Chain A
Amino acid sequence: MHPISYFQALVLGLLQGFAEPFPISSLGHGVIAPSLFGWNIHQNDDFFLAFLVATHCATAIVLFFLFLDDWKRIFRGLGRSLRDRQIGAGDNDARLGWLLVVGTIPAGVVGLLLEHPLRSLFASASTAAAFLILNGILLLIFERFRRRPPQPDDYEGDSDSRIAKLTWKEAIGVGTAQAAALIPGISRSGITMGGGLLFGLSNEDAARYAFLLATPIIGAAGVLKLPELMGHAGDGVRGPALVGALAAALTTYIAVKFLLRFFETNRLTPFGIYCIVAGVIYSLILAV
């Protein structure tokens, strides 16, 4: 008897892969969905954590390969700058690489130290639904207070060079804010995209930056917890986890491709409205 059935794994994997790149909180939906469906799956169950490891690893791998060319250039840039002990003038790849590093370290450290207490504190579906509403409000605020409105030439030229214009403080700020996504209902990509808008990026550039920034964090979180999937907590879960991971990989690929096209001409606003409406509906259903 599997603690998660193959059908549940398929649904949760599809949901995780879809919701992770979208600014709508995959963790929040992962907490709320089992409650809505009446499944006996809870966020803090050891087997569910082991299952999530697999889906997160799958998401990180897909994100990595979708931006493989970028990562190759970024790694080469990082190597160049380390060799030269400086970021060369106009070396956007190196600068983008270090922006990602300084954005990842604070989120990673906060995540390592606070993940367990936050997960325990905000584990309930009703809390996740409430934070989903807050996430929606934040997305609308990001759009309202973005540094500049969208412009026709936003999408011409090299996206990485525009992202590389972020300052170190801005990168640290956006990176640290990612840690809020440890709370179910708050979206990592939403916070990162919103931060990018506040610091002058276009929607598309902010989305690219969010996906690049998410890859090491999601990947590291998955790798750090791999022993749980391979150990006792993974007993009876590995088969469904593999199904969930494949499903998550598929929907992550589709979602990222869609979002990069979507943000060429659209904003965060529809996702903000969705989060508020869905959060209210989920809260009402869970309260009944």
Chain B
Amino acid sequence: MTKRPKLILPAVLAGLVLLAIAVVYFVEPAGSLPSFFPGHEAGSSHHHAKHGIAALVVALGCFVFAWFQSGPSETDPA
């Protein structure tokens, strides 16, 4: 994997944003989600936990990506 240190900050920021989105999905019912969020449904009391899990998984992916980019220079020939 080619190291791209410039991507560390954007990856961390993206991870934090996605983490916040995940929290919103877990905490707010579908009726209270911002209207631009997928799953927004006026008046619904359903919690879109799966959307939250999806956001959380991608957030973790961003953090792991940033972690690897911050590592020592490449030794893997693949």
Q: Which residues of A contact B (CB under 8 A)?
A: 81-82, 84-91, 95, 101-102, 105, 108-109, 112-113, 115, 164-165, 168, 224
Contacts and interface: CB of A to CB of B under 8 A. Distances in A.
Interface string B67-78: 110111011111
Ordered nearest first, which 3 A-B pairs have the shortest CB separation? A85-B71, A112-B54, A112-B50
A109 B58 contact: yes
Given A112-B50, A113-B38, A224-B50, A86 B74 contact: yes
B50 A113 contact: yes
Chain B's interface size range is: 20 to 34
A89 B58 CA distance: 27
Nearest to A83: B71
A87 B65 CA distance: 12
B77 A89 contact: yes
B20 interface: no
B41 to A, nearest CB: 13
B54 A86 contact: no
A102 B60 CA distance: 12
Contacts of A81: 68
B53 interface: yes
Given A95-B76, A95-B78, 19 more contacts: A81-B68, A82-B67, A84-B72, A85-B68, A85-B72, A86-B75, A87-B1, A88-B76, A89-B75, A89-B77, A90-B76, A109-B54, A112-B54, A113-B38, A113-B50, A113-B51, A113-B54, A164-B78, A168-B1
8 contacts: A85-B70, A86-B72, A95-B76, A95-B78, A102-B61, A108-B57, A112-B57, A113-B38
Nearest to B70: A85
A101 B72 CA distance: 21
Nearest to B69: A85
B44 to A, nearest CB: 14
Contact of A112 (B51, B71, B74): B51
Nearest to A94: B76
Contacts of B64: 82, 101
A88 B78 CA distance: 10
B68 A86 contact: yes
A199 B61 CA distance: 24
